[in-house]
Amino acid sequence: MMTGLIHNLAALLSLLPITIAVWRGRAARDGLFWALTAVALAGPLGLVAVRYGTTWNSGLSEVLWVTVLVGIVLFALLSAVAAEAWRLAGLLFPYLILLGLVATIWDHAPAIDARAGTPSGWILVHILLSVVTYALLTLAAIAGLAVLLRERGMRLKRRHMLSDVLPSIADSERLQVRLLVASEGILGVDVLNGMGIQFLETGQLLVFDHKTLFMLGAFVLIGVLLFAHYKAGLRGRRAARWFLVAYLLVTLGYPGVKFVQDILLS
């Protein structure tokens, strides 16, 4: 138990340097930024490699730490190809720290639907697609939150701590839309893959449990939002708020279901 706590705390501490640097106004995509991003990546990567590298038990802590790891990887890739994406760090890393804290607190919660050992075939693909989709949607939600904070600051004519760090409203909206398009595509493939697994296991394409309903609801809502954006010009605060509702549905369907199963029902 003590070893597990040390691993969790080390991973959490690795997220602090870049968070502190951004909140103190260290705003530049320079060598220091990439060095601190590498430090933030090393903590969760080491934890996942040491503790979950050979088995997958699908517990809440495992799910959250893998989500943190994939989120940082995608953030780094996005920051490398999109000039303003790095500015999301001031909102992203505090959220990842929160996920890490939850994972640390419930580190030893049993996984009720655990599949011990190394998953294979479609199940492995389903796990990977689910994690990547949730990480992409997390980045899109952070971009949407940046839009809300920027617009609120303009409306109140008041600067806040992250005014000089967050992307502009236009840049945040572009990032959000691109991330939503990628998320919708991967989520669609994940839904089809899940249907294939369900058919092989039960002979039915869909079983309408809580997770399935939340994920299908999010898929439909994100699709509607993208259609409204391209056809009706939906943008700004209204678009960001509706997407945060979609993100809530995915959160309820992915880590939310794990929390209920592993914590509340255990």
Q: How far is CA 240 from CA 51, 169, 180, 218, in A?
A: 37, 11, 11, 14
DSSP assignments along 77-95, one per residue: HHHHHSTTGGGGHHHHHHH
What is the number of structural domains in the chain? 1
The predicted model scores a pTM of: 0.85
DSSP 203: S
Task: Supply the pLDDT for residue 245.
Answer: 79
Query: CA 206 → CA 63, 112, 193, 230, distances in Å?
Result: 23, 21, 11, 30
**Each residue's pLDDT expressed in tens, for the chain with a length of 266 residues:** 577 788 889 999 999 999 998 888 766 788 899 999 999 999 999 998 887 665 666 677 888 899 999 999 999 999 999 888 999 999 999 999 999 998 898 776 655 554 444 445 667 777 788 889 889 989 999 998 888 888 877 777 666 666 668 888 889 889 989 999 998 999 888 888 877 777 777 777 777 666 777 778 778 888 888 888 888 777 777 777 877 877 877 777 666 555 555 555 45
For residue 233, what pLDDT is reported?
76
In this prediction, residue 93 carries a pLDDT of 95
Q: Residue 28 corresponds to which amino acid?
A: A
pLDDT value at residue 120 = 55
pLDDT of amino acid 160: 63
Which pair of structure tokens corresponds to residue 29? 């995509």
Structural domain boundaries, residue 24: 2-264
Q: Is 224 left (phi over 0), alpha (psi -120 to 50) or beta?
A: alpha
Contact criterion met (CB below 8 Å) for 97 and 19: yes
pLDDT at 162: 65
